Structure 1
Amino acid sequence: MAPAESETPREVLQSVFALRETHRDGDRILFYGEALVPRGTLIEEVWPAFREAGYDARLATTRSGTDDVVIAEPISPGPDGIPWKNVALFVATVLSTLFVGSVAWYYVPLESLQRNPLLVLRAWPFTAAVLGVLATHELGHYVVGRYHGVDVSLPYLIPFIFPFGTLGAIIRMRGQMPDRRALFDIGVAGPLAGLAATIVVTVVGLSLPPMTVPARVLQQSGEVIVFNNPPLLDLIATAIGQPTSYTDPAKTVHPVIIGGWVGMFFTVLNLLPVGQLDGGHMLRAMLGERQETVAALVPLVLFGLAAYLHYGRGLGLNESVGLWAFWGLFATVIAYNGPAEPIDETPLDGRRQVVGLLTFALGALCFLLVPIRIMGV
């Protein structure tokens, strides 16, 4: 339940804000008046007091531009009731990964699925592996966000088609970021949690017996997607003494390993130091506003990778050229909005700086210049 209006830190606000009138809009309280200090520092001055009273505070301006408005919104204590949208997307993504996993990775013929749809359940290890690493990544953000009192949503899983049955997962951060420490902790929690799950899934997948490719699949001609091994996957395979490929064309690695590959690939993308991506949040916390200089270079680097692969190595759009070109465009768009802006700009401590550097180093072990290739069979 939201605190009563009388419990809000009005006195703190009035020390930096000429208050004219107050209105309620549901649970929100709107304070109209004029800032007595620079707009950039007003919220920094009053935010701690509002926070202690159970509110998130932000500054806006009326449409006419005549008044400043301090908007106080109660901090969400967590999900209110059943989060139906999250549940619906989770169910849809489970179904999409089961379908894609059964057809693409367990070689169940479509005709067989039409006769017996329950055959999709053969792919449950694939679904558990892929969604396990993605959900663990986002839950890392969620748990640490709640720990710091930031209003974050539960994960939204995104269903899709081939080759994985999903486009990943996201969370929404609705509240303001209290300081650079919270911004860093929330940003780094996802990649570290996701990488821990990725390593576990990869070890399990490499330890499982290989899959047998049906003769009908081996006899087919056309094009197949080849997923190259990130350095981290090869390191794990070497450490536990398991192969990542077989000389017998009728043998292939267990589909659970794909969950590890997906975890590594999404880690690389999420650690790009730009915009609202995890890497953008982390670097903003580590470098302050200097992060904008690095973020401006990211699209150029990605376009450069695409150009090198196409003109230097003769690869086509379907052989990672299109991938890096798309992410160059995407990085350009999200760089415009930038990462979350913390209220308190106190620099990070040395320990967090080291954790950040180590996390980026782990991300580098997941990077591949050519993650995927299209090959004829």
Structure 2
Amino acid sequence: MPAWKHFLLFVLTLLATTLAGLEWIYGKTILAPEEITPEHWKGALTYSLCFIGILTVHEFGHYFTAKYYKLKVTLPYFIPAWFFSFLPSIGTFGAFINIKSRLKSTKEFFDVGVAGPLAGFVAALFVLIYGFTHLPAQEYIFDIHPEYQEWGLDYAEHAYKDLPEGANLQIGTNLLFEIMKYVFVDDMSKFPNPHEMMHYPFLFAGFLACFFTALNLLPFGQLDGGHALHSIIGHKWFHKLTPYTFALFLFWGGLGLFSAEDPNDYLISYVPLYLLYLYFVSMRLFKDKVTIGMFVMIIFTSQFVLTTIYPTIQGYTGWLLWGFMLSRFLGLNHPRPIIEKGVDTKRKIIGIITLIVFILCFTPAPLILE
């Protein structure tokens, strides 16, 4: 693809994320006859530039490392995704590069794999540090929700009580946010509650960057985390470990869906569908159907028993969609490199750092809708 087409995709994605930023930050849309001020455009563009900037750094981390190894690689493809305000979107499905050469060694897999997330993480740190150290006054929220003024700064005790079911949206948190909150925020009263986090451009862009970083570092197949883990522990142990890591992933995704306290009609209607889902996404892990069936029943039974004992425990069902994507499209397994020599100590240390980045960025429940 000519370079100008990559640039066009970048510009379209920047536009789409800016329009999405208007919706998330201010509740505005260019399709409605509402006044959109220059200040609104500034905030939306701030979100867009920060978010797309971090994604760009991530992808060029991969790109330049691939170039270092003289691999044939494309410029980043940015994927715009704005649904004209009819459906919520963050403005993009992300970005990717296409490596057209075969990676030959574990060292190449490792270096190309971790370069993107680590570069993007450093960029996200700069955005988040600025966001956490430049929080606006509490009254900022009244510019977006003027209806909160009747409750004053105690609006959080009143505003969310009578929301209809399915309208109570909250942004999740991760370990990095919790650490930075206590290190960089000088006045905790300025820090937004989970219902309002999306109205803060730097924090929202940084949160999404963390989410994409953690998503890429999941230890599966063609994801960056899969490349890193495969390079460190080798082909044999990677494929022995994959069923366990995927089981944990599915366990968290479906935790809380079913318990002995649920009505019989609900269990009869939905448990078989859930078991079919688990079977379908696990088919490529094992060769025989009996093993797949046992794998599925261990996951389901452990979820069912734990939820029955602790009824308030809740995983995050959104991960079940990613389980489907990983299993059927991205792949859980990893191709065998031509040169299987293990990575050196320096790269193992970088691997540990990458694991720490994953732990810091991973959000157990990214978006909560009640």
Q: Please report the TM-score for the alignment, with normalisation by the length of structure 2.
A: 0.70
- The DSSP-based 3-state class of the residue aligned with 1:178 is coil
1:212 aligns with 2:141: yes
Shift of 1:216: 5.1
- The DSSP-based 3-state class of the residue aligned with 2:255 is helix
Shift of 1:92: 1.6
- The DSSP-based 3-state class of the residue aligned with 1:226 is strand
Shift of 1:358: 1.9
Shift of 1:154: 1.3
**Number of the residue aligned with 2:215:** 269
1:98 aligns with 2:18: yes
**Number of the residue aligned with 1:143:** 64
Shift of 1:356: 0.6
- Distance (Å, rounded) in 2 between the aligned partners of 1:129 and 1:322: 28
- Distance (Å, rounded) in 2 between the aligned partners of 1:362 and 1:297: 21
- The structure richer in strand per residue is 1
**Number of the residue aligned with 1:241:** 185
Shift of 1:135: 1.2
Flag the 1:336–1:133 CA change in 2: closer, same or farther, 3 A.
closer
CA RMSD of aligned residues (A): 3.1
Shift of 1:178: 2.8
1:299 aligns with 2:239: no
| Match among 348, 351, 361 for residue 346 of structure 2 | 351
**Number of the residue aligned with 2:291:** none
**Number of the residue aligned with 1:308:** 255
Is the 8 Å Cα contact of residues 157 and 170 (structure 1) preserved in structure 2?
Answer: yes
Shift of 1:123: 1.0
- Distance (Å, rounded) in 1 between the aligned partners of 2:145 and 2:37: 23
2:122 is aligned with what amino acid?
Answer: A
1:94 is aligned with what amino acid?
Answer: L
Is the 8 Å Cα contact of residues 142 and 152 (structure 1) preserved in structure 2?
Answer: yes
Identity over the aligned pairs, expressed in percent?
27
Flag the 1:193–1:314 CA change in 2: closer, same or farther, 3 A.
farther
Shift of 1:197: 0.8
- The DSSP-based 3-state class of the residue aligned with 2:257 is helix
**Number of the residue aligned with 1:255:** 201
Which stretches in structure 2 are left out of the alignment for 5+ residues? Answer: 83-87, 149-158, 259-306
Tell which structure's C-alpha radius of gyration is larger.
1
Shift of 1:338: 3.4
Is the 8 Å Cα contact of residues 275 and 334 (structure 1) preserved in structure 2?
Answer: no
| Match among 114, 117, 122 for residue 196 of structure 1 | 122
- Distance (Å, rounded) in 2 between the aligned partners of 1:260 and 1:108: 21
Q: Which structure exhibits the higher relative contact order, with contacts defined as CA atoms closer than 8 Å and separated by 6 or more residues?
A: 2
Flag the 1:310–1:323 CA change in 2: closer, same or farther, 3 A.
same
- Distance (Å, rounded) in 2 between the aligned partners of 1:253 and 1:85: 32
- The DSSP-based 3-state class of the residue aligned with 1:141 is helix
1:91 is aligned with what amino acid?
Answer: V
**Number of the residue aligned with 1:46:** none
Of the structure 1 ranges 178-187 and 331-340, higher mean CA displacement relative to structure 2 is found in 331-340
Shift of 1:251: 9.6
Flag the 1:246–1:146 CA change in 2: closer, same or farther, 3 A.
closer
2:243 is aligned with what amino acid?
Answer: A
- Distance (Å, rounded) in 1 between the aligned partners of 2:341 and 2:98: 24
**Number of the residue aligned with 1:178:** 104
**Number of the residue aligned with 1:363:** 358
- The structure richer in helix per residue is 2
Flag the 1:228–1:84 CA change in 2: closer, same or farther, 3 A.
same
Shift of 1:236: 1.6
- Distance (Å, rounded) in 2 between the aligned partners of 1:310 and 1:129: 36
- Distance (Å, rounded) in 2 between the aligned partners of 1:208 and 1:177: 43
Of the structure 1 ranges 120-129 and 168-177, higher mean CA displacement relative to structure 2 is found in 120-129
Flag the 1:278–1:264 CA change in 2: closer, same or farther, 3 A.
same
**Number of the residue aligned with 1:20:** none
1:308 is aligned with what amino acid?
Answer: L
Is the 8 Å Cα contact of residues 275 and 281 (structure 1) preserved in structure 2?
Answer: yes
- The DSSP-based 3-state class of the residue aligned with 1:262 is helix
- Distance (Å, rounded) in 2 between the aligned partners of 1:306 and 1:280: 19
Shift of 1:320: 6.6
**Number of the residue aligned with 1:232:** 176
- The DSSP-based 3-state class of the residue aligned with 2:72 is coil
1:62-101 aligned at under 5 Å gives the runs 82-101=2-21
Aligned residue-pair number = 293
2:184 is aligned with what amino acid?
Answer: I
- Distance (Å, rounded) in 1 between the aligned partners of 2:197 and 2:116: 34
- Distance (Å, rounded) in 1 between the aligned partners of 2:119 and 2:196: 35
Of the structure 1 ranges 363-372 and 130-139, higher mean CA displacement relative to structure 2 is found in 363-372
